[in-house]
């Protein structure tokens, strides 16, 4: 019997050397702790510096937060890379539009990473208020990997349903600043914008990590 497929997450920026690699490697490191083998996180760029490693300051940020910046090479975003992805997290609203130009079927599974994180914060607040009632439709049949995949396949729709409760005061708050060829201080701003979003996503994953014989979403 085939093993359940891991949840496939793609992070997207422009050059695929500054922002999306940081999101990729830190999400992968954190999700590996939540459920080993449950997630595969990758990244690509809409105008990628193909083959280049991530920028040194980005690599330092990844290392500082416990990720592995090694063996990275930038990739150009293509329809083939998007095929079969469960969730696309872009660094700006513009990147989201470029993803959808390549594959319009991803409309309901593509978000900027900051807006997605805010939606998950709303879902977590609601779950806390309801004493962690189980999310319907995520029975795992005793298989945590299958339950995890089912949970994350349904997550974009649940997140989008609370979008109206998580709108920012300014639409620019959906975007992560591009630090390429800019001062180290701009990389720190990128870190300050990106890190809270990653923390929110990892927190939601931990709160809803499936346990064999239970339902994903139970606590």
Q: Which residue among the candidates 124, 153, 163, 206 is catalytic per the annotation? A: 124
Question: Cα-atom radius of gyration of the chain, to the nearest Å?
Answer: 17
Give how far Cα 134 sits from Cα of 32, 46, 155, Å. 23, 38, 13
Q: Contact, 55 vs 18, CB < 8 A?
A: yes
Q: Report the C-alpha gap between 204 and 37 in whole angstroms.
A: 17
Q: Is 124 a catalytic residue?
A: yes
Note if 19 is an active site residue.
yes
How far is the C-alpha of 104 from the C-alpha of 91, rounded, in Å?
Answer: 18
User: What residues form DSSP beta bridges with 88?
Assistant: 10, 110
Q: How far apart are alpha carbons 7 and 78 in whole angstroms? A: 19
Please give the positions annotated as active site.
Answer: 13, 19, 124
């Amino acid at each position: 019997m085939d093993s359940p497929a891991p949840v496939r997450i793609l992070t997207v920026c422009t050059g695929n050397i500054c922002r999306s690699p940081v999101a990729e490697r830190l999400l992968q490191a954190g999700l590996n702790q939540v459920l080993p083998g449950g997630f595969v996180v990758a990244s690509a760029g809409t105008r990628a510096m193909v083959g280049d490693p991530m920028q040194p300051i980005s690599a330092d940020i990844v290392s500082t937060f416990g990720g592995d910046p090694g063996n990275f090479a930038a990739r150009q975003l293509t329809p083939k890379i998007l095929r079969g992805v469960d969730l696309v997290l872009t660094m700006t609203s513009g990147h989201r539009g470029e993803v959808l130009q390549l594959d319009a079927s991803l409309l309901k599974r593509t978000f900027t990473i900051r807006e997605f994180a805010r939606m998950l914060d709303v879902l977590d607040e609601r779950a806390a208020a309801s004493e962690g009632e189980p999310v319907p439709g995520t029975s795992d049949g005793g298989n945590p990997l299958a339950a995890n995949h089912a949970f994350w396949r349904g997550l974009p729709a649940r997140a989008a349903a609370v979008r109206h409760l998580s709108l920012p005061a300014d639409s620019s708050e959906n975007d992560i600043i591009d630090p390429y060829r800019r001062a180290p201080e701009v990389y720190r701003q990128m870190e300050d914008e990106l890190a809270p979003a990653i923390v929110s996503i990892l927190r939601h994953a931990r709160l809803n990590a499936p346990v064999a014989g239970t339902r994903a979403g139970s606590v």
